[in-house]
Amino acid sequence: MTQRAKDDTDPGLGRATGLSTAEVAERVARGEVNDVPARNSRSTADIVRANVFTRFNAIIGVLWAIVLLVAPIQDSLFGFVIIANTGIGIVQELRAKKTLEGLAVIGEAKPAVRRDGATAAIATSEIVLGDLIELGPGDKAVVDGETVEADGLEVDESLLTGEPDPVLKHPGDPVMSGSFVVAGSGAFRATRVGREAYAAQLAEEASRFTLVHSELRIGISTILKYVTWMMVPTAIGLIISQLVVKQNDFKNAVARTVGGITPMIPEGLVLLTSVAFAIGVIRLGRKQCLVQELPAIEGLARVDVVCLDKTGTLTEGGMDVTELRPLGGADESSVRRVLAALGASDPRPNASLQAIVDAYPHGDGAGDGDGGRPARTLPFSSARKYSGAAFEDGDGTVTGWLLGAPDVLLPEGDPTLADVDRLNEQGLRVLLLARTADGVDLTAPEAAAGATATALVVLEQRLRPDAAATLAYFAEQRVATKVISGDNAVSVGAVAGKLGLAGADRAVDARRLPSEKSELAEAMEAGTVFGRVTPQQKREMVAALQSRGHTVAMTGDGVNDVLALKDADIGVAMGAGSEATRAVAQIVLLNNSFATLPSVVAEGRRVIGNITRVATLFLTKTVYSVLLAILVVCFQVEYPFLPRHLTLLSTLTIGVPAFFLALAPNKERARPHFVRRVMRYSIPSGVIAGVTTFVTYLLARQYYSGTGSLGAETSAATLTLFLVTIWVLAIIARPYTWWRIGLVVAMVVAFLLVLAVPWLQNFFALKLVGSVLPWTAVVIAAVGAVLLELAWRWVDHRTANAGPRSTRSVT
């Protein structure tokens, strides 16, 4: 490879030209392409398989087949409902897949590849073996390779090796895929592509669209496990009771047995969770928000601390030079030429240097006098806080210059720092141009020590117009905001103060922070704005906050944010940020708008709060179904319901309402212990519903004894169960809005229609006989409703959560 690097060097340019078009075609024909498969979503086959082939679908499928053989079509309605639900789940997840893949194309990193001597940005999948890939600050190595060119090229490999210090690369050194550039520039040749690359498999796993590893999903899996444990023995007892002990008519016994088993299965819970997440992805996609890991929607809703990088988050990426102040009698025209030469010496200038390039373009005499040919360059590093270059003039004299943070380049107490502080207090960013002592190596730690201050460059940062409103939103939601930046602390505090952030007037210089984690955590709790923070310190700050039990989100766009983004609970990157930040973040704001974050929080809260509501509905049904089966076995009576009755009840009190409730707005702050909170409400609700229904059923059996009217007994029990469960729905629907009230009323009206319309009576085998028992059923249901209110109030009192009772009850 080294020989090849020499052979393809363009003498005129003094650099490697890369592969020719013919060589690229030859490698493509041989299959030597970076053909790592798309990682943004599951395949269509995986989506269909995950929605169709589930444990509960298998159980319901068997039961459905049995009912189709022995019972009327009315009793098999539950099977058609499951087919419809599964179809809805598949369609919604396919829509989410399409949205994600479309956004991923927009946000996809396009490495700069040199071919035929020209550089062009191409898709990662188009890289071939032997391609020459250019690198600059923030770029990620997408394949393995060997360094060909290096100009102060420093690569961070900590995400792969765990080593925190950047590695200085020289020609011939290896480059690992997954590492990223923190300073300098260069180029490397691809030696391993596709699945052979070091980080290919890791990247595939890290970036895959997934529905797992969230408290919500794990909680639902736990609930389903408990349900399975309860369902198996109960179902066996019910089968024995209905087929052996009572010796009923075989077909009727089978139908009632299936009617008892089917409602134990919370079949729609997983579906609605998937649909809620999928629709969240679609909604966020419309706002140009790419969710690279689905649980990030849920995770950001649980966040109680947001750490923000100032540049690119609170401020826009661009800056403007507003003033140039020569120091110590320096000639302003000479300073301008030096600044122009410094700008021209860096092929990949950061935002600050780009502002200088725009203000002092190269070519206006920069090559004369104080400019000259660059003999050595020192790329900007977040750790150093300065960059530099050494220029050789016509007589061979070499002059070194440094450009960076005044409080780093100047000794403490220097009078110039007072002027810098006054500028910083106005929210301005200030750089110092300093001339190094003769013969000093730019890379030496003492290079700044003997430097002579030559000029101050004052930069104005553009505030994002939506940043103030976003900070106010987080304050209202009781989410603490911490601004951590590499810039001067006073300047960062001034910017945050302009945006109305509380505590911005007490900015902390991170160089004075303690290194011990517990002490650092105390400082982080007390402070709001931190300046002069190194990349490693950002990582330590995130860890310190997490050690205090906080769920931390980190936003950023620069290479200095990568490590903190990786370690945070939720990493949020700007679409215009570096390739490395986008690669490690769970959420990418493709529109570069910090104001999109509240939408992500709102989606997460909607999902968590609403799934908690509907999970309570589904688990209430499971509890009363299991309890009814146990009571039937213990009392040795016929199971009161046919499948058609419970299909009707499930549709009106759970299925249709749950679909609307799962997608409704919900701003309640997410809280932990999902399973515990759901079971606290669903168990007493299910017990009350089961007991009141069985009491009505026993009274009806006694009242209608000798008439052989099993349909009348079932109808009375159905009435009680409907009224009690509709009251559960009414409680869960709180706080009331016009559409929530309308939803409950519509379900009541639908049930009354079934009781009033003759053909619906016959279809569902429901007919109230007489007036005594129907009114008795209503009274028993009213008692059940009172018990429900008392039970829910008691649970509310025990949980002692903040906020109105009606909202605490369900979220």
Active site residue ranges: 309
| DSSP 8-state secondary structure symbol assigned to residue 196 | G
User: DSSP 3-state assignment of 462?
Assistant: strand
**Torsion of Cα atoms, 574 then 576 then 577 then 581, to 10°:** 60
What are the DSSP calls for 363-388, one per residue? TSSTTSTT--EEEEEEEEETTTTEEE
List the beta bridge partners of residue 613.
none
Dihedral, CA of residue 203, residue 209, residue 214 and residue 217, to nearest 10: -140
Residue 138 backbone class (left: φ over 0; alpha: ψ -120 to 50; beta: rest): left
Q: 402 - beta bridge partners?
A: 388, 434
All residues at 6 or more sequence positions from 737 whose CB lies less than 8 Å from its CB, including other chains = none
Q: What number of H helices and E strands is found in the chain?
A: 30, 23
Closest C-alpha among 725, 732, 613 to residue 662: 613
The single-letter DSSP state of residue 446 is G
How far does the chain reach from its first CA to its final CA, in angstroms?
61
Tell me whether the omega of the peptide bond preceding residue 735 falls within 30 degrees of 0, making it cis.
yes
589/63 Cα distance (integer angstroms) = 47
Please report how many Cα atoms fall inside a 13 Å half-sphere around the Cα of residue 145, on the Cβ side: 33
Sign of CA dihedral 757, 759, 760, 765: positive
C-alpha distances in Å from residue 778, one per residue of 29, 133, 651: 77, 77, 21
Give the CB-side neighbour count of residue 47, counting CA atoms within 13 A: 20
| 10, β-bridge pairs | 15
CA 796 from chain center: how many Å? 30
The residues, any chain, with a CB within 8 Å of residue 549's CB and separated by 6 or more, are none
Residues with Cβ within 8 Å of residue 258, at least 6 apart in sequence: 63, 66, 67, 71, 75, 643
CA 126, CA 34: separation in Å to the nearest integer? 6
Question: Are the C-beta atoms of residues 448 and 408 closer than 8 Å to each other?
Answer: yes
Phi, psi dihedral angles at 433 (to 5 degrees)? -95, 125
Q: Please answer whether residues 188 and 135 qualify as being in contact, where contact means their C-beta atoms are separated by less than 8 angstroms.
A: yes
